[in-house]
Structure 1
Amino acid sequence: MQVEYWITNYIPLNNEDGLVLPSTCGTIAYYHREILELCGVENYQARKAIIQQNNITLSLRAYLRLKGNNFLNGGTPYNAQW
């Protein structure tokens, strides 16, 4: 059996809350991977912070549109993109 350790600064965390952490982290990783693959966040190169911020904001808006289309029409965001 592999033991996993979680580090957090959330003081009132108890054992029941600790059981939810792996699924939450998995969900965050899933969305992060989809955003990187579908919206090209990391492919854009800019030096100024405001340009980077605008690119990330527009990429997240595009991702939300893809997910909304997925919710309304079925399918996956990968199918909606093509």
Structure 2
Amino acid sequence: MGLFAYPPKREPFATAGNYRSDITSFLDELKKKHVDLEERQRKGRVLLWDCEPIDLDERRANASSTVQFLRNSSL
């Protein structure tokens, strides 16, 4: 080959093991300050997302079984 080989040879990313993003550092510090943070997150998730699946047949049956009340003006 000539002077330039294609694709160019790249050196392995030597700093990958030493690099820490600002976000990673922030999250690590936050977890150190609030050791119960992950447990609180799990509890919050249970409240919002971990629910029983909705049975659509049961929902339809409940919706169709409603009783309409008539207002009786004589009572």
TM-score (norm. length: structure 2) = 0.26
TM-score (norm. length: structure 1) = 0.25
Q: Which has the higher contact order (CA 8 A, sep 6+)?
A: 1
Q: Point out the structure with max Rg over C-alpha.
A: 2
Q: When you count helix as a share of all residues, which structure comes out higher?
A: 1
